[in-house]
Amino acid sequence: MIYRATESIKKGNMVLIYDSDDREGETDIIMPAHAVTPKHVALMRRDAGGLICVAIHPLAAQRLGLPFMSDLLKHANELAEVVEKPGDIPYDISSSFSLWVNHRNTFTGITDIDRALTINEISKAVQSSLNGAPVDFGKEFRSPGHVPLLRAAGNLLNERKGQTELSIALAELANITPAMVMCEMLDENTGKALSKRDAKLYAKNHDLVFLEGSEIVEAYENFLEFRSLSRRTDG
């Protein structure tokens, strides 16, 4: 299933990821940020209904100067009381939210066209930063905006196993730019997250790959082990 998923996102397609029963218990639609079109944005807001975000590799986030939103709020004394506290999130110890941005070539930033443009340009910025090219993020983007950025944990799945890290790990496995769009699938009838059963049915009906978070964790651990062994052998 991992092979099918990596091949799918290499082609710019969507896949579904379910994190775990003991975490959020949610399924996200994810796809490469560079491949997003206005039609993809429309599909995610219509069929998923959650927040359309872009997860970013931690090294790219560091090079682009993207902070964690929780750190920014800690320095805003008048807002100190709303800052999350350790253990304040019921399913994790911290949030991966960074800035919310619009690309400067957008108008309002909220339309499908505007959000697709912002998402595409975020991917370009991530790729440039990882290639060692200087990127003036503030010149390209304005904040606040309508596309939330998620900064993956520094050690990815060794540190945190959220949808942010799962999607970036999958991008690494597929060897594509590690900037991934994600949107939670919600159920308009129950008011809750879409059940795993219904998410699997959606995947089947739309010919999409459905992945358990544990499948990505296992594949990524094998990937890291193989990479470490290769480096020792080359050395």
Q: Which residues are catalytic?
A: 28, 53, 91, 102, 146, 184
Question: Tokens standing for 94?
Answer: 């911290």
Contact 181, 96 (CB under 8 A): no
Cα separation of 166 and 186, whole Å?
19
Cα separation of 36 and 14, whole Å?
10
Distance of CA 219 to the CA centre of its chain: 18
Task: Count the neighbouring beta carbons within 10 Å of the beta carbon of residue 86.
Answer: 7
- How large is the greatest C-alpha to C-alpha distance in the chain, in angstroms? 57
Contact 185, 49 (CB under 8 A): yes
Cα separation of 230 and 135, whole Å?
32
